[in-house]
Amino acid sequence: MSISVLVADDSKLSRRSVIRSLPQDLDYDITEATNGKEAIEALKSGFFSLLLLDLTMPEVDGVGVLEYLHEQQEKPNVIVISADFQPEKQKIVMALGAKRFLRKPLDKEELAMALFELGML
């Protein structure tokens, strides 16, 4: 069975890097969103078990996506992956229901550990 993953990041480079960092031994059904608006549309139209979310994005940013999800019943596990990881940012994000906060550049091991802790591995 494949895991449905939504990768939301405005940078193609970062989306590539995130997708490449997913543990190899599983199957994924990957959808990409290039901004927060696209991410919310994707979340409305399909079910995802995992959202890998950047914070700094045009249109709607990562916090906007978290705010949207906060009001929803069914939601994916959200792992925020951000270049801005000063403590204040982390607090906001965790309060809005993100399960993990990982730093860019993304470390494969850290992602695998987060997925393991969330029971997805």
Stretch that binds another protein, among 35-43, 62-70, 80-88, 107-115 (CB under 8 A): 80-88
Among 49, 56, 112, 118, binds another protein (CB under 8 A): 56
Q: Rounded to the nearest 5°, which phi and psi values hold at 89?
A: -60, -45
**Identity of the residue, 11 or 49, whose beta carbon is nearer to another protein in the bound complex:** 11
Q: Give the nearer residue to another protein in terms of CB position, either 15 or 43.
A: 15
Which region among 24-32, 37-45, 65-73, 102-110 touches another protein (by CB under 8 A)?
A: 102-110
Cis before 23 (ω within 30): no
Minimum CB distance to another protein, residue 89 (Å): 9
* Binding track, positions 18-47, relative to another protein; x by CB under 8 A: ------------------------------
Task: In whole angstroms, give the CA distance from residue 58 to residue 45.
Answer: 21
Residues 6+ apart with CB under 8 A from 6: 30, 31, 32, 33, 39, 42, 43, 48, 50, 51, 52, 76
Instruction: Say which residues have a Cβ less than 8 Å from residue 88's Cβ, sequence separation at least 6.
Output: none
In the numeric block, the tokens 């996506």 are attached to 65
Distance of closest approach, residue 54 Cβ to another protein, in angstroms: 9
**Positions in the binding site for another protein (CB under 8 A):** 11-14, 16-17, 56, 82-86, 88, 103-105
